[in-house]
Amino acid sequence: MSMRHVKILRPNRVRMIEKPFAWIPFRLLTDGLLGNLSIHAKALYFFLCLVADRDGVSFYGDKRIQMLLHFETADLGEARAQLIDNDLVAYDGRIYQVLSLPAPPSP
């Protein structure tokens, strides 16, 4: 099997892993979870993935999140509810935790 060679469009701008490092699980797309989320829920999930520590915990408060994402209070509440309902985050009223993805759907 030969390796496929792809033309790099901007060799001077190839992505590198930086510190701190954040990730978004690919299964979010392949399991169909991404398609179930509103644009606000997607933005909140992406933001929480960026700012979470290695355990998925974020200490950003709701006021700061609203300011950074340009969300109204209702937008944040609805986005948070969607993420919780889809078992993607936990929230205790102060701290968010990005959770490992739920088990993939059965075939």
Token couple for 11: 């060799």
Q: Tell me the percentage of the chain whose pLDDT exceeds 90.
A: 66
**What's the mean per-residue pLDDT of the chain?**
91
- Angstrom CA distances, 101 to 20, 27, 36, stand at 21, 8, 14
Q: Is the CATH number of domain 25-98 3.30.450?
A: no
**pTM for the whole structure:** 0.85
DSSP three-state, residue 107: coil
How many residues in the chain?
107
**What is the distance between the alpha carbons of residues 87 and 100, in angstroms, rounded to a whole number?**
9
DSSP three-state, residue 97: strand
